[in-house]
Amino acid sequence: MEKQKALKYFNFIIYIFFAAGAAGHFIAESKPVMLYMTPYVLAITGSLVLYLSGSLKSSRFILFFLLSYSVTLILEITGVKTGIIFGDYSYGDVLGFKVAGVPLIIGFNWIFVILGALNIGIIFNRKILFVSLSAAVLSVIFDFLLEPPAISLKYWRWQNISVPYQNYAAWFIISFIFAFCFQYFKINTYSKTFIHYFIAQLMFFIILNFY
């Protein structure tokens, strides 16, 4: 009961937290602090989401989460080094410690985007194909709204001024595959906390699009 109450408070607070963080980017004095805190905020809030979702009780989920993190990180490293997957891009220093040019927090947040999108799909229909397609479409929408502020804040930069269509195609394919695998291997991922976290981050970037 206590954990359920804490979960409800957290789901509410996470919206306030990200909205306040977005507002902080509009204030010259607080913006450097907001940027410095970005990787730490993502790591802490993501860890809390994992704990409160109850998913860490499943050894299968933990194994698949670690596998997903490793694969997405490898895909990002390959993408940065070759430009083959997402297009020609490179990361700045805002997102923290990097391995082979890729911030470690990137693979972590990738999974939360997919899990949030996947859980939204589950609300409407639990068929694997529907949920996988929904997760892929929602992930692409997330990235589309993320790109302008992320580029402006120097999270990363593209070699060309515009974001290549290749990037969105890669997001769609990767998100679809991971969402499909989570369901095919019967990994229990359903938690409203993943949905709230997805929406809170999406709201954050929508606000920053007005920056």
pLDDT tens figures, 50-81:
988 888 888 889 998 999 999 999 999 999 99
User: Residue written as tokens 């933990």?
Assistant: 62
Which strand (E) or helix (H) includes residue 98? strand 98-99
What pLDDT is stored for residue 73 in this prediction?
Answer: 92
Domain carrying residue 138: 2-208
Residues 6+ apart with CB under 8 A from 44: none
What pLDDT is stored for residue 92 in this prediction?
Answer: 92
Domain count, the chain: 1
pLDDT tens digits, one per residue of 11-56: 888 999 899 999 999 988 899 999 999 999 999 999 999 988 888 8
Start-end of H helices in the chain: 2-24, 31-53, 59-82, 104-124, 128-152, 165-184, 192-208
What pLDDT is stored for residue 23 in this prediction?
Answer: 92
- Sign of torsion over alpha carbons 194, 57, 52, 126: positive
197, pLDDT greater than 80: yes
